[in-house]
């Protein structure tokens, strides 16, 4: 019997860098990675198709798609999740969600202390995953740990240093970003433990920055007929 999620397409665009890959068990069959400034929504499908071609696989032959769901960039999450669901629907395969924190934690042996995953958000804020929960803080309002912690994420080193200077037992792990292997391992660990897979839906922590105008949406253009085309009798 095929192990659950043995052969996966992995997609990740939650943080600054993005990646796509095909992994089978512990074997990475193909991978693409980069940090494009623009055009991510166009680049990810090219990467995914290129990885499948290199691995000699059709999407329908996969056991599923693993995609990071955040916390992270709204634009990146929207692009990667839309692609994952599009491929999954066309190929008839499941799409699984993995958080950024889960993906990084899967790369680490048990550190013997709680793990904080700290990553960059917008406007001087930080995303923090701990104890299975995600939240966002201003850098100056980051909570202090109640005991020894290990830190992962792109802000792990400087936050660990700051906490250590304040007298807390905090050490960086050296894990700064997601990897294809970590995302796949996190999904397999969750399924092997008997937990339901996470929905492949965005994990938004901060509210959206977009706001409606103070006066509401603009009115329809003059002369626009707002009468229903098929009014009820």
Examine residue 137 and state whether it is found in any structural domain, yes or no: yes
Does 211 fall in a domain? no
Q: Does pLDDT of 221 surpass 60?
A: no
Same domain, yes or no, for 114 and 97? no
Whether residues 23 and 63 fall in one domain: yes
Residue 36 domain-assigned?
yes
Contacts of 30 (CB under 8 A, 6+ apart): 21, 22, 50, 51, 52, 54, 55
Which of 154, 180, 152, 200 is CA-nearest to residue 19? 180
In a domain, 166, yes or no: yes
| CB-CB contact of 31 with 180 (8 Å) | yes
| 3-class secondary-structure state, position 170 | strand
CA 159 vs. chain centroid, Å, equals 21
Q: Phi and psi for 87 in degrees, rounded to 5?
A: -65, -45
Question: With 70 as the cut, is the pLDDT of residue 229 above it?
Answer: no
Q: Which residues contact 34 (CB under 8 A, 6 or more apart)?
A: 17, 18, 19, 43
- Domain range for 84: 7-103+178-192
Domains held by the chain: number: 2
Helix locations, the chain, DSSP H = 40-55, 74-91, 100-105, 156-165, 180-192
Single out the residue of 122, 127, 180 nearest to residue 155, CA to CA: 127
Examine residue 187 and state whether it is found in any structural domain, yes or no.
yes
Mean pLDDT of the chain: 88
Residue 67 vs residue 141, higher pLDDT: 67
The residue with greater pLDDT, 50 or 209, is: 50
Q: What is the mean pLDDT of residues 63-89?
A: 96
- Supply the pTM of this predicted model: 0.86
Average pLDDT score over residue span 28-55: 95
Classify residue 202: in a domain, yes or no. no
Contact 183, 103 (CB under 8 A): yes
pLDDT band at 37 (very low <50, low <70, confident <90, very high): confident
155 and 65 within one domain: no
Q: Are 12 and 84 members of one domain?
A: yes
pLDDT per residue as tens digits for the range 169-218: 999 999 999 999 999 999 999 999 999 999 999 998 866 544 445 554 44
d(CA 27, CA 118): 28
């Amino acid at each position: 019997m095929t192990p659950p999620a043995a052969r996966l397409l992995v997609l990740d665009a939650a943080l600054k860098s993005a990646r796509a890959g095909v992994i089978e068990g512990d074997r990475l069959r193909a991978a693409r990675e980069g940090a494009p400034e623009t055009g991510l929504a166009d680049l990810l499908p090219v990467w995914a198709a290129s990885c499948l071609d290199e691995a000699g696989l059709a999407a329908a032959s996969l056991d599923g798609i693993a995609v990071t769901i955040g916390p992270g960039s709204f634009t990146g999450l929207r692009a990667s999740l839309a692609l994952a669901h599009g491929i999954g629907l066309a190929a008839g395969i499941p799409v699984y969600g993995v958080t950024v924190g889960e993906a990084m934690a899967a790369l680490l042996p048990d550190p013997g202390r709680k793990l904080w995953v700290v990553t960059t958000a917008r406007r001087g804020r930080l995303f923090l995953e701990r104890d299975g929960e995600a939240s966002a803080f201003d850098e100056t309002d980051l909570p202090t740990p109640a005991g020894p912690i290990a830190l992962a994420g792109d802000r792990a080193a400087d936050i660990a240093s700051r906490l250590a200077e304040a007298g807390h037992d905090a050490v960086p792990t050296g894990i700064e970003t997601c990897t294809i292997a970590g995302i796949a391992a996190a999904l397999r660990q969750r399924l092997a433990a008997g937990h339901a897979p996470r929905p492949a839906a965005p994990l938004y922590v901060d509210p959206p920055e977009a706001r409606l105008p103070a006066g509401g949406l603009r009115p329809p253009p003059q002369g626009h007929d707002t009468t229903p085309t098929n009014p009820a009798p």
